[in-house]
């Protein structure tokens, strides 16, 4: 393990441009539940009911109940050592981008600046009628919250299954990844597209892929290095010694 960490650290040292992709695993040690795996939310909840656009249109009350619960959970927690280590990495590398699938906002709270939240942010809400979009950090917004401008039904400012990612954000990611020497892929099960395939842009351009995850994923076989363990334990040691 120590040798592996030292090798990856050397690769990070040499890399001129670094990208990071994070998933729910990096926030697990903060107390935010992940989606898949033994304790994951999707173990006993149906993502198509709670996190798809069809599910929202059919039963907005049930979806809002789920999001209000998640907002309450996230309101009570804070960033951990893994998030903090990525803030340090950003300070050390000028050409840096952190792409996150997480909607919890913990990377920014920790102090990361160059962050793209490709699945949106749970503290944002959008009107389904007039498209007014704003930030509201009230943990529980009630059964069916309405737009302060037009009275239309609000929705969470996150990307639902069945919806495309914001094309400007996706373009920014892809353009950066084309010129990236090394990408850290942290705490994601690598099964949700297009996030799961972003690493291949780096690979195709000759860059190095490093996975840091509790367990192997379907993408582990494409990695140059795979470190298995908790992000909050591995990242500080990896980045401190740079
Ligand atoms: P998942 O819940 O699918 O995967 C989390 C991964 O993190 C798993 O592979 C775990 O083994 C790993 N993990 C758990 N704890 C960890 C720790 N302490 N350190 C390192 N790794 C750990 O979450 P995502 O891959 O982020 O989308 O899920 C992708 C998307 O699916 C989410 O953004 C969400 C979800 O449905 C939307 O809501 C659009
Ligand atoms: Zn409105």
pLDDT digits (tens, 9 = 90+) for 15-74: 999 999 999 999 999 999 999 988 899 999 999 999 999 999 999 999 999 999 999 999
Q: What residue spans of 36-166 are helical by DSSP H?
A: 47-50, 53-58, 60-75, 81-92, 106-110
pLDDT digits (tens, 9 = 90+) for 108-120: 999 999 999 999 9
> Which of 196, 191, 35, 193 is CA-nearest to residue 104?
35
Distance CA 231, CA 143 (A): 35
Locate CATH 3.30.1600.10 in the chain: 33-76+122-158
How many CB atoms within 10 Å of residue 174? Answer: 12
Which ligand 1 atom lies nearest to the CA of residue 47? Answer: 36
- CATH superfamily for 33-76+122-158 is SIR2/SIRT2 'Small Domain' (3.30.1600.10)
Distance CA 125, CA 225 (A): 38
Ligand 1 pocket test target in 33, 169, 214 with most atoms within 8 Å of CB: 214
CA angle 160, 26, 56 (to 5 degrees): 15
pLDDT of residue 39: 87
Gyration radius of the chain's alpha carbons: 18
Element (H, E) at 192: none
pLDDT of residue 121: 98
Residue 98 near residue 112, CB atoms below 8 Å: yes
Ligand 1 pocket test target in 20, 21, 23 with most atoms within 8 Å of CB: 23
Question: Using CA positions, which residue lies closest to atom 2 of ligand 1?
Answer: 35
pLDDT of residue 106: 98
User: What average pLDDT does the chain have?
Assistant: 97
Catalytic residues: 119
Ligand 1 pocket test target in 30, 124, 188 with most atoms within 8 Å of CB: 188
Distance CA 89, CA 17 (A): 11
Which ligand 1 atom lies nearest to the CA of residue 217? Answer: 9
Question: Using CA positions, which residue lies closest to atom 26 of ligand 1?
Answer: 23
If DSSP codes are grouped into helix, strand and coil, which group holds residue 225? strand
Q: What percent of the chain has pLDDT over 90?
A: 97
pLDDT digits (tens, 9 = 90+) for 172-215: 999 999 999 999 999 999 999 999 999 999 999 999 999 999 99
Locate CATH 3.40.50.1220 in the chain: 2-32+78-119+165-239
pLDDT digits (tens, 9 = 90+) for 128-168: 999 999 999 999 999 999 999 999 999 999 999 999 999 99
Question: Using CA positions, which residue lies closest to atom 8 of ligand 1?
Answer: 189
| 57 contact partners, CB below 8 Å, separation of at least 6 | none
Span 225-234, average pLDDT: 98
Residue 154 near residue 147, CB atoms below 8 Å: yes
Name every protein residue with a CB atom under 6 angstroms from any ligand 1 atom. 23-25, 28-29, 34-37, 40, 47, 51, 101, 119, 159, 187-189, 192, 213-215, 217, 230-232
Distance 44 CA to ligand 1 centre (A): 16
Task: Please give the CATH architecture assigned to the domain spanning 2-32+78-119+165-239.
Answer: 3-Layer(aba) Sandwich (3.40)
């Amino acid at each position: 393990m120590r040798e592996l960490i030292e090798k990856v650290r050397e690769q990070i040292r040499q890399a001129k441009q670094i990208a990071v992709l994070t998933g729910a695993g990096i926030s697990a040690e903060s107390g935010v539940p992940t989606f898949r795996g033994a304790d994951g939310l999707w173990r006993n909840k149906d993502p198509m009911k709670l996190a798809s656009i069809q599910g929202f249109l059919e039963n907005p009350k049930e979806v809002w109940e789920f999001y209000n619960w998640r907002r309450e959970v996230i309101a009570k927690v804070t960033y951990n050592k893994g998030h903090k280590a990525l803030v340090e990495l950003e300070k050390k590398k000028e050409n840096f981008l952190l792409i996150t699938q997480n909607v919890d906002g913990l990377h920014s709270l920790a102090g990361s600046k160059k962050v793209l939240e490709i699945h949106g942010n749970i503290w944002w809400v959008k009107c389904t009628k007039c498209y007014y979009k704003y930030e509201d950090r009230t943990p529980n917004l009630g059964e069916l919250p309405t737009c302060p401008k037009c009275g239309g039904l609000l929705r969470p400012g996150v990307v639902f299954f069945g919806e495309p990612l914001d094309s400007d954000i996706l373009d920014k990611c892809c353009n950066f990844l084309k010129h990236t020497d090394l990408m850290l892929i942290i705490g994601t099960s690598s099964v949700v597209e297009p996030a799961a395939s972003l690493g291949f842009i780096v690979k195709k351009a000759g860059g190095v892929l490093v996975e840091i995850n509790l367990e192997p994923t379907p993408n582990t076989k494409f990695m140059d290095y795979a470190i298995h363990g908790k992000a909050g334990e591995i990242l500080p040691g990896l980045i401190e010694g740079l």
